[in-house]
Structure 1
């Protein structure tokens, strides 16, 4: 039965280079899966080992009889009678047949590929804040009344449109930028309604 499961579910058997003296492995012994410990390598090939369940000395003739290292992560999977595997976890799994005999074969399950995450550049671009002037225009566009530079700075920060990068007088910086825009005449985006108060050009 175990041999059939190994054939059906593609158990990954070990290679000689992966076997270490003193290592503990799962092995197929007399058709049954058990835990063994490798004691020594034999000069003509194979290894002397101990069945950890019975304490008996056994001979492992080939690395292909080893089914994996003890302690490796294993998930669980269920197998229908037709042999379709429903994966519950992503690591190599103990396999059980539904409505039938349980099997001790190890099914090798592929890990799913990680979904691609958006690049840092794309994410950062989406999070860019408005410039000071653009934020001021947005606030004025939402306001029915003209505002001065200090009121604009307060509204911009409270709405989350813009925050001062550390300047001590952001309102003075904004005021100067608005005056430069007003110098464009009819092409300016701001309109001065009275001393120190502005709105947007309609």
Structure 2
């Protein structure tokens, strides 16, 4: 909005604390901007620039919706496609796929080798991350903090095997 479009006594949509609320412009502030009243809370606020105002409010019914309803309307439910995965077949996690690869391998492997082997065998596929090997490496290190209960053994720097 432009400064010239703002009228004293008018009701406008305004962005206040990252929420879109209806305000009534009460007076012009001597330091610039306007003194206003937030109609949903009744509190006095100061609108410093016309950029905070997005336009005149039409009806009051449309502005009095709670913020949670507005957020709920923005959410879109993403239902899984039934054809994406056959029934009964469960997708392996990255760590479980790595355990399976290490169990089949006779030698220790690093995270990049494990990721490559998992993708080649079709056990796991990256959901689009740029560094799946770093994520796997981090998950293995977190698992190793369990001590003797860990499913992995570090043989040398960056190389792991599955615990027997």
TM-score range, shorter chain: 0.3 to 0.5
With normalisation by structure 2, the TM-score equals: 0.48
With normalisation by structure 1, the TM-score equals: 0.39
